[in-house]
Amino acid sequence: MVATDKVFAGSVPEIYEQFLVPLIFEPYARDLAGRVAEAGPKHVLETAAGTGVLTRAMTSQLPATARIVATDLNPPMLAQAKAKQAGDSRIEWQQADALALPFQDQSFDVVACQFGAMFFPDKIQGYREACRVLRPGGRFCLNVWDKISENEFADVVTEVLADMFPHDPPRFMARTPHGYFDTDLIREQLGAAGFANIAVNALDHRSKAPSPRHPAVAYCQGTPLRNEIEARDPARLEEATNKATDAIARRFGSGAVDGHIRAIVITATRAS
């Protein structure tokens, strides 16, 4: 991972919420929220909350008595999330680094992290912090993306940009969101952090959009991939988006599009 992989700023949070959330995140948020709800928690910590898609799913599935502390490293993403649920008193919004959580030991029944662990520069430290703030027997629910070849729109966009910039291809999608899929490694790192009863499952969904333009904008303009494109040539962002649109249309059609996505869903419990 490089420094720009964690930069979600400018118009990225708004585009991310408008285009990327319905494209790939919503079905996995519903799934992860269900796994959180199964534990019957009173106090939930969410790390890497992004623009709040999991937060919203949890508030729809948890009882009114449950309380959620939703955190993210990036204030612009957290501000976008808070704006969507500004009046919900069950949620406390707080900027926080998942690798150095500002909470006391054994404060939460569940820690949830939707597609955030891939961005942790030190995975074991991030897992240790989740373990530390969980009560004994508490549950850690998280998901990560599978390899990029199992996520068709992201794969197509990455290939297009490699053709545009052959001497220095933007590799954000393959490197970070889709770069942490080794389930044996994930199990090992969770165990090293103090977790037991580790369950790991692949979960397939369909990624649907009203047009090829929708996923092209989502990936090229609503993720840190934009930072890589603009670093190579700031004048070519729209060209990159148009080329991605054309490539998606060639493969999936010019109308509504439908591509395969796969994530890895993990649950674990604090060992003691």
Model confidence pLDDT, tens digit, residues 96-125: 999 999 999 999 999 999 999 999 999 999
CA distances from 52 to 33, 97, 259 (A): 12, 16, 24
Mean pLDDT of 178-191: 98
Beta-carbon count within 10 A of 113 CB: 26
Model confidence pLDDT, tens digit, residues 187-210: 999 999 999 999 999 999 999 999
Query: How high is the pLDDT of residue 2?
Result: 54
Model confidence pLDDT, tens digit, residues 124-155: 999 999 999 999 999 999 999 999 999 999 99
At 69, list the tokens.
Answer: 């502390």
49 touches 72 (CB < 8 A): yes
Q: Which domains does the chain have, with CATH numbers?
A: 3-270 (3.40.50.150)
CA dihedral 150, 154, 157, 158 (to 10 degrees): -70
